[in-house]
């Protein structure tokens, strides 16, 4: 069986892109459900939901730094580590912020916004933004 190479031009394909988008939707739904279960403020949720998108400002330093900044703010590992730290330190608000962050990442993935390649903002691990 031949390996399928994934590039910025093709992104995930052969149904993999759809699976990744459904995983994003599941992450968003689970994060919102956990947030609701923990009794988080919906005002805080609304106020912080788009906060990871401030990472777009890194693109002012060029596409390489921009992609790095965006990917740091949109990688699930950051939200997971923040949530674990909040749990270990018994910091309810930190856990809630981690869940908002996870919901944002999941929503972005479900909408087709993947991690960025340094070649251009539109080039993501899910394919080129705007291409089906």
Whether residue 13 lies inside any domain: the answer is no
Name the phi and psi angles at 83, rounded to 5: -65, -40
Question: What is the pLDDT averaged over residues 26-39?
Answer: 98
Residue with tokens 């990688």: 75
Alpha-carbon dihedral 27, 32, 33, 35, rounded to 10 degrees: 120
**How wide is the angle at C-alpha 10 spanned by C-alphas 6 and 16, nearest 5°?**
65
| pLDDT tens profile 93-102 | 999 999 999 9
Whether residue 9 lies inside any domain: the answer is no
Whether residue 1 lies inside any domain: the answer is no
Whether residue 31 lies inside any domain: the answer is yes
Count of structural domains within the chain: 1
Query: What average pLDDT does the structure give for the chain?
Result: 89
Whether residue 5 lies inside any domain: the answer is no
For residue 70, give its domain range. 18-128
Least confident of 15-19, 54-58, 80-84, 87-91: 15-19
Whether residue 12 lies inside any domain: the answer is no
State the pTM of this model: 0.87
| pLDDT tens profile 72-81 | 999 999 999 9
Whether residue 27 lies inside any domain: the answer is yes
């Amino acid at each position: 069986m031949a390996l399928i190479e994934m590039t910025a031009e093709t992104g995930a394909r052969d149904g993999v892109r759809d699976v990744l988008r459904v995983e994003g939707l599941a992450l968003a739904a689970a994060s919102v459900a956990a947030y609701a279960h923990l009794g988080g403020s919906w005002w805080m949720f609304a106020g912080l939901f788009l906060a990871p998108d401030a990472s777009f400002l890194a693109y002012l330093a060029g596409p390489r730094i921009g992609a790095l900044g965006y990917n740091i703010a949109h990688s699930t590992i950051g939200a997971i580590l923040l949530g674990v730290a909040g749990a270990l330190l018994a910091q309810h608000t930190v856990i809630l912020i981690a869940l908002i962050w996870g919901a944002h990442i999941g929503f972005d993935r479900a909408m087709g916004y993947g991690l960025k390649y340094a070649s251009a903002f539109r080039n993501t691990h899910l394919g080129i933004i705007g291409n089906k």
